[in-house]
Amino acid sequence: MDLPTLQLIKDAFQLLREGIGAVKDAKSLLPGPQQEAVSATIEKANTTVALAEVQIAKALGFRLHRCAFPPPIMLEVKTPHGQDQRCPACGYTTNYNSPDDGAERSWRSESGMR
Ligand SMILES: [Zn+2]
């Protein structure tokens, strides 16, 4: 996948999040029961967007960490050893001596994802 395509995907997710945020802001204008329905829909939308991001990240070769669900996407960081990958949620960092330390493999085997 080329860089312009990645940027388009990133922009699309950002717009989705902004749209969800706008609905969240506007829900206070609705009567109580409708606010609850909108809250439930917003929560489902947030989860769906997060899962879609994870699927795309996985397809692009990013590793996932199993410390939360949806699984956080591990990002590359510079370390004294070179380049490792770190979970933005819990701070777990891969060991440079063992680049395939099981973070993604464990997620894949338990979720049935490929
Ligand atoms: Zn983590």
Q: How does pLDDT run across 14-61, given as a tens digit for each residue? A: 999 999 999 999 999 999 999 999 999 999 999 999 999 999 999 989
In the structure, what pLDDT confidence band is assigned to residue 2 with cuts at 50, 70 and 90?
confident
**Long-range Cβ contact pairs of 13-17 (< 8 A, separation 24 or more):** 13/49, 13/52, 13/53, 16/45, 16/49, 17/49
Same domain, yes or no: 5 and 40? yes
| Predicted TM-score of the model (pTM) | 0.66
How many distinct structural domains can be found in the chain? 2
Same domain, yes or no: 19 and 69? no
Same domain, yes or no: 56 and 105? no
What are the residues whose beta carbon lies below 5 Å from ligand 1 (ion)? 65, 67, 87, 89-90, 92
- pLDDT the model gives residue 3: 74
Among candidate residues 99, 101, 71, the one with its CA nearest the CA of residue 83: 99
DSSP letter, residue 28? G
CB atoms within 10 A of CB 71: 23
Express as a percent the part of the chain with pLDDT over 70.
82
Q: What are phi and psi of 73, to 5 degrees?
A: -90, 125
Q: Cα of 73 to ligand 1 centre, how many Å?
A: 8
- pLDDT the model gives residue 75: 93
Range of the domain at 4: 1-61
Same domain, yes or no: 32 and 67? no
Same domain, yes or no: 56 and 72? no
Is the pLDDT score of 107 beyond 50?
Answer: no
